Structure 1
Amino acid sequence: MHRRVEWLKPSDRVIVSELADYGGWMKSASLALNIPYTNRHISRRCKILAEHGLLERHEDTAGYRITDFGQQFLNDELDADDLRLDDE
């Protein structure tokens, strides 16, 4: 799906999946210990994924967890139109 949605990257599914498997709040540094991407990359992608509703950012720290929308993304219950920006 990342080829049909401009902002979506191949690493995003891996990041969202790892957060779903964990089931709670996690920081990008912890994610970087478990998946093959740098902390910097994960941090940037988590911010973008949160802006698009797939993740939720903790209000006190830069930790993230999956949203119901993110779970729908992992379950392939969304199509590209659900993830596109209004101006795409």
Structure 2
Amino acid sequence: MTGSAEDSDEMHRRVDWLKPSDRVILAEIGKYGGWMKPATLALNIGYTRGHIARRCQTLAEKGFLEKHEETAAYQLTKLGKDFLNDELEPEDLTTDSQ
């Protein structure tokens, strides 16, 4: 189920809950490879800590991120890696399937 680069750029337009910032957030967490807090992400990318915190919470609910048990920190899941590698189709991300 590999999508094209164009599909990955347009994915947020085809999936109602997905935002353009989600790929940036996931990529930054994936680049680091460990637990990251929204405040740290905000230092590295062009979104506010509040926006990142809300998106991380949604991405965790959808299975793209795992939330740390003791603090507001997140790490990438296999689903998140699959998304970054363009191995998912919009149909894989619909509200009904997640």
TM-score by length of 2: 0.87
Name whichever structure is richer in strand by fraction: 1
Matches of 1:85 and 1:41, distance apart in 2: 21
TM-score by length of 1: 0.97
Is 1:59 matched with 2:58? no
Question: Which of 25, 29, 35 is the aligned partner of 1:19?
Answer: 29
Number of matched pairs: 87
Aligned match of 1:46: 56
User: AA paired with 1:49?
Assistant: L
Aligned match of 1:77: 87
User: AA paired with 2:91?
Assistant: D
Name whichever structure is richer in helix by fraction: 2
User: Residue deviations 1:23-67, cap 9 Å, x none?
Assistant: 000100000000000000000000000000000000111100000
Is 1:37 matched with 2:64? no
Sequence identity (%): 64
- Which stretches of structure 1, 4 residues or more, deviate above 4 A after TM superposition? none
Aligned match of 2:14: 4
Two-structure CA RMSD over aligned residues (Å): 0.9
Partner secondary structure for residue 75 of structure 2: strand
The unaligned stretches of length 5 or more in structure 1 are none
